Every structure is written in structure tokens, then in C-alpha cells.
Amino acid sequence: MDIDTNPPTDGNKSSARIQQQSRTRLRQQKLRYTFIGYIIVLCFLAITQFIGVGFFTKGFLLSRHVLPNIAECVDNSCMRPAKYDKAIFLVIDALRFDFTIPVAGSTEYYHNNFPILYDLAQKENGLLLKFIADPPTTTLQRLKGLTTGSLPTFIDAGSNFNGDHIDEDNWLLQLRRANKTIAFMGDDTWTALFDDYIDPQMNFPYDSLNVWDLHTVDNGVIEHLYPLIQKENSTQWDLLVGHFLGVDHVGHRYGPRHFSMKEKLNQMNEVLEHVVSNLDDDTLLVVIGDHGMDSTGNHGGDAPDELESTLFMYSKSGKFLKKDESAYDVSNEGRNYRSVNQIDLVPTISLLLGLPIPYNNLGFPVDEAFSSHEEILTASYNTLKQLKTFRDNTPNLAHTLLEQFDTLIQHYHDKTYSEQDILLMAKEYQYLSLEQCKSLWARFDLRLIGIGLGILFLALTFMITYSRSIPAVRVSTMSFEFIGSVIAMTMLGLVLSFSIYIVLKPTDFTIWNCLAIGTALGMVIGFWAPIMDRFSINFLWNQIIDFFMYNFNSWSFMGIVFVIAHCLIFASNSYVVWEDKMVSFFLLTFGIGSIYNCAVNTELSRPARILGLSHAITFTIMTRLASMINLCREEQRPYCEATFKTTWWSVLLLHVISYILPMFIASFYKLSDSYHSAAPLWIGTGLSFLLFMNAVYWTFEYVQNSEYFNNMNLIIGIPLIKSLKLAIARLVLFITLVLANFSWSRGPLCVKLELKEENSDESDVSDEAETPGKTATILGYGNVYGSSYFLLVLNFTVAIMLTTKPIGAVSISMLIIQILSLLELSDILAIRKNLISPIIFGLLGYQHFFSTGHQATIPSIQWELGFMTTETIFMPFTHLNIVLNTFGPFIIVSLAIPLITLWRIVPSNKPITVLSQIITNVTTLITYHLFTGLSSLLFAAHFRRHLMVWKIFAPRFMLSGLLIIMLNLFLIVVTLWFGTGRILTQINRIFGK
């Protein structure tokens, strides 16, 4: 593009320049001022939203109140003499029940490879049962349940990473109080929970969360287990706990249908053979699985596959009182096999080892674990007594089920009924008690939920007003009024809520709750005050009407329809389950709509129409292709076939992409003539190289995991591949996140100065044109902002592509092309300022969230990618990888959102106007997410008694809540503060006149 400026006359030149300089400086100062104002206002808004999400979460994910009492048996009346002196307690993580029983005709790697348990259980001194876990099926929850006998709460699942210290009564604590010695080896979750009770001399924890490491934990356990069970060492301990993780890790890493599963199960078989052959006569061997795994090898939910695991008991001297043969029916993968609840193990093991039953226990002894009916009856009597004590001391339970208990105790003394009948009645009582506890503890704090929803609703109404209702020009001048009044009102709110707390002393409200409510309300009032000062409600209402009257066209209609439809999705579990398809359908509707519009748009010239058509078609094709990549959630079966798998061709595609994607991006740059200076370096060199490194990383990963290559005995050993992978991952992440962003902050431009000799026009560009006879053309002038800003997007994209599995990286590269063609389209179709553009961006984020192998479920979180850069958990890096992997598409989209305004515009004389348009788009994106978020929260609260709440609605609300927090932070810090701030000041400094 040519720029012609009339040079000032010689006389005025210097003074004019000084004047201009001061004016420029003034303008820059003003820009900076406005910019800071915006950032602070958005921060306040974000805080309001965080408080809302926080309240809701607190009310929804209520934690259970724990009784601190410890069971004591002064007169030994509540326990029995120990049947076994010692016990070996082996946990095989994720040992699903069907792994251990014979499954005729199955050729799966996970069947028939662990026969020892079933074989031993055929004798009368062995016992194999199906073991039903309580959801959530995460190891920490299970260990708590298996030792305390109590029910888990959902909120603990999130703290699996921290491994909370246990403060409830449990049988390890009871053992310790009886002066027994506990030896431990394996999963370090145990150490986190029971560190106080384990003998420090015999404590061998191993890192549990590195799920890509299949052998370290197991080999460690074996290394310490074998010597300790030798005759000469067996006097050193009374309980030996071993926790194997290999089976679980194989599941997480490869899924159960992988040849490593066979190896692992065979190894476990050998271990047990060894243990059994070295077993003392008076030692009880207990082998359990803490949970199962689903068909993808993950766990955490409440599907039968995840809940069903194994309980095995064996002793050389003992005898188990087994039931009828038909109870142990292994046909049909053991569907009708007798099952016991996981918490039933707690009273069983306590009574067998001669301990008091833990105070909070809710379970009932396993019948078969005892050798006579007599024993079972006393065991059940002890358990009933313990249950009664527990219930008497729990406020909400004390006054119920009293009659049943009394009649039950009467029966025990009268012996009018047979032993079997009494046992049945006792079980009935325990069942009722358990169900009562379940319903009681699944209670929600509706007040907190309501407060959270209310605050979010207020935030949303303000957000709509801020982003769409008030003219953007006015908003830019109002920031400091907002800041003043928000600070004042927040102070007021804090003081008021504090005094309310002091005066009224609400019993069930903490001071922090009060202050948070005060802050949030103060902020909302603080936001509304200046608006009400300047505008009236009438004005705002008229603004809305004006929008529908004058600015309303098919595009905005479409945008509103999408937002409403997306919000309504949460009203039904089916639509939440199929959200991935719905989002794709919306995007495809937009794609086809834009093709149609380009085709019939009468205002476009022929070349523009053809260009527009090609972009629209590219967008639609990419959207359609990306919609074909999916990971099925459990509820989508059998109508869904997962295509998200790591296969040889997906790795190959990565290599192809490392050539093709830079080419595509370059061609988009060339369209606006801006593939110059920084662009070839960034895209042609940097991007290609880093994408190639990604491909190499995933090739190594593939080689390391494939059965074929493992059998080939490659020259490069596994350790070398491992360290190469670590090196590549660290290098790529360092370059993209640190180095490239730093160099970007120096301000790369994608323009080129072209001087033409023969032109006679008198024109120059600032000082750079040397002689007046030449014409200087700045190539890429038409897309100065966009071409430079997009390089920042690319930095993050490469990092995200590394942390995404191969087929997901393919989807991310489609996202980049979608974004670019969408930007071109919004220029051609003139929908830059329409609300459809940010909404489509928001939808793109969702689409690629799903197509990078995620779903709104807990098992679909790809934990294993946390260990790309470090071998163990290392605070920021492990978490960074998981965040990049999970929220990657949203990050890219929210980073690209300013491009709606910035793409293909010439340097503006009014940077503040550009900024205010960017803010409008950014806040519209936040509004969109707030809409969907609020709706998903609302329906999660509404369906809190729904059968599917923990499976469908609760995970979805967690995703929404996290998205609101993550997007606000990222948009403010990276997109606005780092990205937009830099680019606007930079270009204003260079081109600003």
C-alpha cells in the first residue's frame, strides 16, 4: 500500500516535528492510561466471577463432616481375639474383577493371565469375591474407604494430588495402638495418608502419579517384599502392606487391550506364587484391587467396569465358610458372582486381627471370612454395636432406626430365629443405615449454591451491559470512574459484611464467606453506580431495542440462537453427553451459512466473492474434518466410535503437518502481502523446526510403546529414547513459551519496504525514504497488527501441539487454519463488529476441546501428559503440561480473539478505538462463557438429585467453572496485558503520526 504524506514546508519542519513528537507522546500516554484502566476493570470483574464460582463450588461439592473419635475397647467386649496374628495386605491397583477369573474363549490380553487367585480360591482356605467400590474410583478415596469404612465425598477426588493426611479412625491406626509394626512398600499415597503408623524402618514409598512408568513401583515393591516375607525376617512386622501400580499404569497408558497388560498380569501372578509359597501358617494374605478400569483403561467414575474389583483372602491354616457353589458363578465374565462392598473389608479385617472396629465404619463383616456360623454371629454383633455407637454420636442419625436396632439385639439374645435369619436382619439394618448416610452426605448447601448463582448472574448482567450495551467509545473513558467506585463500594461492602458478622454472629457462616459476599456485592454495586450515573435504565433498554431494530441482521440472529441453544443444552443429560456433536453442528451451520452468504452477496466484487467462497469452504471442510476426531464418553456408546487413537498414521500425519502447516500459514500471510521480515523466520524456520521436533517426540513415544518395535531390539535403547524425549519436550516448551515470547515482546514486524526508482510521485515514508524521487511502498502495511500478533498465537500453538497427542495436534493445526480463514471471512463479510465472530471463536474452542481427546468427564483428563518434561511431579511443570493439554484449544482461541479487530487493518491513528473494539470482543467472549457457565451451574444445581449428576452434570459444571477462571486469567494477563498491549504501543510508536 502506498502512503503519501505531504512533507511540511522547510521552515516549519523542525518546530512541527517537535510539536508532533510531543503530541505523539501525549497520545501514547493516553493509550497507556486507557489500557491500564481496562485491565484493572477486567480484573475486578474477574474477581466477582471467581467469588461466584467459589461459592457455588463450596455449596455443591460439600465435604463430609468427620467424627474425630477413635474406637476403644477397654474391656475387650467389642472385639474378638485375633484369628490371625499377622497379615500381608497386597493392593493391585485397578485390578478389575474379570482379570482374575477364567474367561473361556477370550483372547484379550487382560483375560486368563492372572489365574492364581481363582485357582487358590477353589480350595477351602482361599476365597475370591467381587469387590464393589464406592465412587469416585480414585486411589486416594478408595484407600480412605478401605481403611476407615466410611463413605467418600466428591471433593476429595480433586485433592488426590496432595494426598490429604487422614484424621479418621482406621484399622492401621488401631494396629499401631495395639503396638503392632506396619511395613509398607509401593504407592506413596499410603505414606501421605498413614505416615504416622508405618514403621519408618520399613517404609518404602514410590511416586504414584507417573503413569508412564510401568515398572519402577512394582519392581520396588518386589525388591522389598521378597526379603521381608522370608522366615528369618517375618518377625519384624505384623502387617505388611504392598501396593502395586503396574496394572493401573498399563491401563492409563495403553488401555487394557495392550500386550503390556498380559506381561503385567503374568508378573503379578509370579509375585503371588512367591508370596503364597513363603506364607506362614498364621498369616492372613489379603489381595485386593482398589478399583477397576473402563475400556480405555481410565477410572474415576461410577461405571460398573470402574467399580468392580477383586477381593482375595488366603491362609494356610484357616478355613473359609464358603457359600453354595452357585454364588461363585464365573460365567459371563463373572456378572453374577457374589460381591461384597469395599467398606465391608474394614470390620472383617479388624475382627480377624483382633482390633476394635474403626469408629466411623459403615460396613458389615464378610460372611465367608470366618470359619463358623458362631464366629460370624459374634462378628456381626460387634459390628452392630459399633454402628450404633457411631450413629448415636452423629447428630442427624441419632434418632432414627432405633426400633430396628432394639429388636435386632433382642433377636441376638433370644435366638428365636435361626442364625441365618438374624444375619439377614442385621445386614438389612446395616444396609438401611448405609443408605441413610449416603443420602445425608450427598446433601447440598443450597444457600451457598444460591449465593454463587446470584453473584454470577449479577456479573453476567453487568458483563452484557459492559460488552454490548454501552457504546464502546464511552466505556473507554469510564474505566477510572469504575475503578474508583468499585474500590469505594468494595470497602463499604467489606466493612458492612464484617460488622454484620460481628453483630449477628451467624452460626453457620464463616467470616470469610461473609467478607466474600460483601466484596462481590460491593463490586457489583460499584460497577453499576457510574453506569446509572451516566445512563438511565431507559437508555440501556433503548440501546437493546436499537440493537434489535437497526443492528440486527441474520448474523447476529445466528449468534444469539447459538448462545441460547448452547445454554439450553445443559437442561438435558442427553445433550450434555452429545455436546461435541452439537458444537460441531453449530459451527458447520455457520460454515454453510457463510458459503451461502458469499455466494449470494451482491455487494462483493467477483474476486472478493471467489476469495470469500474459498475461505468459507476451507472453514467448513476443516470444521467437518475436525468434527470426525472424537473420544467417546461412556454414555455415548454404542452410537459412537472413538477415532482418537495414537496410531502409526497419526504420527506420520504429524510429520506431514510440520511441512504443510507452515506452508498454509505462509499462504495466508501472502494474501495480505505480509510474509516478510519476521514472518519467514517465525513461520518458515521456527515453526517448521519446532513442529518437526514435536513429530520426532511423538515418533519416539510411538516406537517406545509399540509391540512391534519392542520386539525388534532397536539399536537405540529405551533409556536413550526416554532421555531424548525429555530433552525434546523441554527444549520445545522452553523455546515456545519463554524464548519466542521474549523475542516477540521485542516487536517483530512482518513488513518490507520496497523502493521503486522510476516513479515520479513525490512521496516518502517518514525518514526512511532517501530521495524524493523514489516511491516507497510498505508491503504488508495492510495487515501490520494482525501479521505480527498472529506470531504470538503461533508460539502458544506449538507448545500446545506438543502437549497434545498426535491426532489432537492434527486437530489443533486445523484450528489454526479455521481461525485464519475465519479472520479473512470476517473481513470479507464485514462481520468484524458483529457478535457472531467472538461466539464462533468460543465455539471453536469447545470443538477442539472435544477433538483433542477430551470430554467433560474426569476420566478423560490426560494425566499422563504431565510427565513429558519431568519424570516426577514437579510443581509448575507437571501442572503446566496438563493445563496446556486440557485447556489448549481455549487458550489458542482466547489468544486469537483480538485478531478479529486487528486482522487486516492499517495502523490506526486512534489506537484507543482499536483497543476498545478489542475489549468489546474479549468481553463478549467472556460473556458467552459466562452464559454457558451460568447455565451449566444452574442445571447442575437443579439436577442435583438426578441419577446422572456425578457422571454428567457435575463434571460439566466443573469444566465450566474452571473455564471461567482460566479464561479470565488468560485473557487479562496474556491476551490483553502481554499481547494487545505490546502490539498496540509498538505499532503506534512506529507508525503513529
Q: Kindly list the residues in this chain that would bind other proteins in the complex (CB under 8 A).
A: 548-555, 557-558, 572-575, 577-578, 581-582, 584-585, 588-589, 591-594, 596-597, 600-603, 620-621, 624, 627-628, 635-636, 639-640, 830
Task: Tell the smallest beta-carbon distance from residue 575 to other proteins (Å).
Answer: 6
Task: Tell the smallest beta-carbon distance from residue 618 to other proteins (Å).
Answer: 12
Task: Tell the smallest beta-carbon distance from residue 588 to other proteins (Å).
Answer: 5
Of 26 and 545, which CB lies nearer to other proteins in the complex structure? 545
CA distances in angstroms from 373 to 179, 344, 430, listed in the order given? 30, 17, 19
Of 582 and 765, which CB lies nearer to other proteins in the complex structure? 582
Task: Tell the smallest beta-carbon distance from residue 943 to other proteins (Å).
Answer: 14
Task: Tell the smallest beta-carbon distance from residue 670 to other proteins (Å).
Answer: 27
Of 599 and 720, which CB lies nearer to other proteins in the complex structure? 599
User: Is cis: bond before 7, omega within 30 of 0?
Assistant: no
Q: How is residue 7 annotated by DSSP? A: P
Q: Please answer whether residues 163 and 189 qualify as being in contact, where contact means their C-beta atoms are separated by less than 8 angstroms.
A: yes
Task: Tell the smallest beta-carbon distance from residue 559 to other proteins (Å).
Answer: 11
Of 362 and 836, which CB lies nearer to other proteins in the complex structure? 836
Of 598 and 693, which CB lies nearer to other proteins in the complex structure? 598
**Inter-helix orientation angle 806-828/784-802, to 10°:** 160
Say if residue 444 is exposed, middle or buried (CB neighbours under 10 Å; 0-12, 13-18, 19+): middle
Of the candidates 858, 952, 944, 948, which has an alpha carbon nearest to the alpha carbon of residue 60?
944
Of 586 and 991, which CB lies nearer to other proteins in the complex structure? 586
Task: Tell the smallest beta-carbon distance from residue 600 to other proteins (Å).
Answer: 4
Of 496 and 621, which CB lies nearer to other proteins in the complex structure? 621
Task: Tell the smallest beta-carbon distance from residue 556 to other proteins (Å).
Answer: 10
Helix (H, G, I), strand (E, B), or coil: what is residue 789?
Answer: helix
Decide the pairing of beta strands 752-756 and 339-341. Answer: unpaired
Strand blocks (E) in 694-850: 752-756, 775-779
Task: Tell the smallest beta-carbon distance from residue 552 to other proteins (Å).
Answer: 5
| Locus of grid cell 452460626 | 507
Q: What backbone torsions phi and psi does residue 187 show, to the nearest 5 degrees?
A: -45, 125
- Cross-strand partners of 777: 2, 754
Q: What backbone torsions phi and psi does residue 4 show, to the nearest 5 degrees?
A: -115, 120
**Inter-helix orientation angle 554-568/579-600, to 10°:** 170
The Cα–Cα gap between 321 and 587 comes to 62
Of 596 and 659, which CB lies nearer to other proteins in the complex structure? 596
Q: What backbone torsions phi and psi does residue 283 show, to the nearest 5 degrees?
A: -105, 135
Cβ-count burial 919-942 (b if 16+ within 10 Å, e if not): bbbbbbbbbbbbbbbbbbbbbbbe
Of 565 and 727, which CB lies nearer to other proteins in the complex structure? 565
Of 624 and 655, which CB lies nearer to other proteins in the complex structure? 624
Task: Tell the smallest beta-carbon distance from residue 955 to other proteins (Å).
Answer: 17
The Cα–Cα gap between 754 and 664 comes to 25
Task: Tell the smallest beta-carbon distance from residue 948 to other proteins (Å).
Answer: 10
Of 804 and 860, which CB lies nearer to other proteins in the complex structure? 860
Task: Tell the smallest beta-carbon distance from residue 952 to other proteins (Å).
Answer: 11
Q: Please answer whether residues 334 and 128 qualify as being in contact, where contact means their C-beta atoms are separated by less than 8 angstroms.
A: no
Of 503 and 549, which CB lies nearer to other proteins in the complex structure? 549
At 714, list the grid cell.
Answer: 532397536
Nearby residues of 370 by Cβ (< 8 Å), 6 or more positions away: 83, 320, 321, 352, 376, 379
